[in-house]
Amino acid sequence: MANQDFVGIPSQVDTRALNRGASDFQRLRRGLLFNYLILGAGAILMIVPFIWMISTSFKPQAETVSFPPRLFPINPTISNYIDVFDRANMGRLYWNTTFISVIKTVFNIYTSALLGYIFGKFVFRGRDVIFYILLSTWIIPFEVYLIPLYLMTVQVGLANTYTALIVPEIFTIYAMFMFRQFMYTIPTELIDAARIDGAGEWYIFHRIIIPLSKAALFTLIAFYFMWNWNDFLWPLVVIADQDKYVITVGLATFVGEYWSQYGVIMAGASLAIIPILALFIAVQRFIIEGVVLTGLKG
C-alpha cells in the first residue's frame, strides 16, 4: 500500500461548474479551443496503452508481431482470453482477490470511521498524543516493515495464509485521518441530542455518524478497494501457494511464464484491469455527486 500517500478527498471536486455557465461562452472565444486541443492530444497519449492492450488481446499470435501495426485485428479472436482463464487459473485469481479486497476494505473503512469519530468528536485525556503517535506511522515506508513482518508471520505459523494478508492491514492511518477531518463537518449538537434522547454510543456511531459520512465513506471505499485489489509486494512475499495467489501476483507470474505470447499476456492484463476500472467508472459519478452535494451543504 505504498501508493496511498495523498488523495484529494471530497470537497475538492468541482462545485464551481455549477455557477460558471454564464461566462463559458466568453471563455471559449478567448481560446479554450487551444486547451481542448492540448488536452485531447494528452488524453490520447494516456489511453493509447489501454487501447493497444485491448487491440493486442484480440489478435492471434501471428498478427501481434506483424508490421505495420494495426488497431483492428484482421482475424479477431477470443482464444487469448480462453487461454488465460485456463492457464492462469483466472477464475480462482478473481475469487481470491475479490474475497481479500472486500474483507480488507470492510475492516479498513469500519475501523477508520470508528477511530476518526473518536479522535474527532470526543475529548479525553491523551487523545492528541495517541492520535499523533498513530499518525506518525504514516511516513514509514512499507519496505521497513517487509522483513520483520514476514519473519513474524513465519514465527506465528501464518505464512502462506490469507490471515497474514489481511491482519497487518486491518487498521489504516490514512482513512482514519480523513474520517477525523470529515467529522468536523458533522455538528456535535446532533450527537448530543441523540444522547439526550437515550441513544447508545454504538447506536449513534452506526445510525447517525456512518450515514452522515456517506460522501467520505464512498470515496474511501472506492480508493481502498482499488488499493487492496492492486496490492502486490506483501502478497508476493507471503503467499507461496499458486492456488492462493491474488491477481497481481498471478499476472506477474503468468507474464514471466508466457512472455512473447503477447496476445495472451495482454488478455491477462485486460482481465486484471477491467473489473476495477468498470467498478470505478460505475461509482465515479456517484462519488462526484456525493462530493458536490456535501460541498453545497457545507
Partner 1 sequence: MIQTIAQKFTGRRSTLRAAEHRFIVIALVPTIIFYAIVKFYPIFFSFFISMHEWSLFGNVSPYVGFDNYALLAKDSLFYKVMWNTMYRTFAGTFLGAFCSLIVALILNPIKRGSILLRLIYFLPVMTSVIASATIWKWMLQTRFGLLNQLLSYVGIQPVAWLQSTTWAMPSIIVMGIWGGIGFTVIIYLAGLKGIPKDYYEAAEIDGASSIQLALKITLPLLKPVVSFVLITGVIGGFSGGFQAIYMMTGGGPLDSTRVLALHIYDYAFQRMFMGQASSMSFVLFAIVLILTLVQFKLQRVDWEL
Instruction: Quote the cell numbers at residue 67.
Output: 508490421
- Buried/exposed 17-54: b ≥16 CB within 10 Å, e otherwise: eeeeeeeeeeeeeeeeeeeeeeeeeeeeeeeeeeeebb
Binding residues for partner 1 restricted to 228-257, rule: CB under 8 A: 229-230, 232-233, 237, 247-248, 251-252, 255
Task: Give the range of 28-36, 72-80, 82-90, 209-217 binding partner 1 by CB under 8 A.
Answer: 28-36
Interface region with partner 1, contact rule CB under 8 A, candidates 74-82, 86-94, 146-154, 206-214: 146-154
Q: Is 277 in the site for partner 1 (CB under 8 A)?
A: yes
The site for partner 1, by CB under 8 A, has a size of 100
Do residues 181 and 135 touch, judged by C-beta distance below 8 A? no
Pick from 6, 3, 9: nearest CA to 215: 9
Instruction: List the one residue from 73, 221, 280, 283 that touches partner 1 (CB under 8 A).
Output: 280
- Please report how close the Cβ of residue 105 comes to partner 1 at its closest, in angstroms: 15
Residues with Cβ within 8 Å of residue 143, at least 6 apart in sequence = none
Are the beta carbons of 193 and 271 closer than 8 angstroms?
no
By CB under 8 A, the residues from 210 to 229 that bind partner 1 are 226, 229
Cell 468541482 sits at which residue?
Answer: 14
User: Applying CB under 8 A, which part among 64-72, 73-81, 83-91, 213-221 lies near partner 1?
Assistant: 64-72
Site for partner 1 in 96-125 (CB under 8 A): 111, 114-115, 118, 122, 124
**Separation CA 100–CA 223 (nearest Å):** 15
Query: Do 203 and 186 meet the contact criterion of CB atoms below 8 Å apart?
Result: no
202 binds partner 1 (CB under 8 A): yes
- Closest separation in Å from C-beta 110 to partner 1: 11
**Residue located via cell numbers 506483501:** 234
Q: Which stretch binds partner 1 (CB under 8 A): 18-26, 73-81, 82-90, 213-221?
A: 18-26
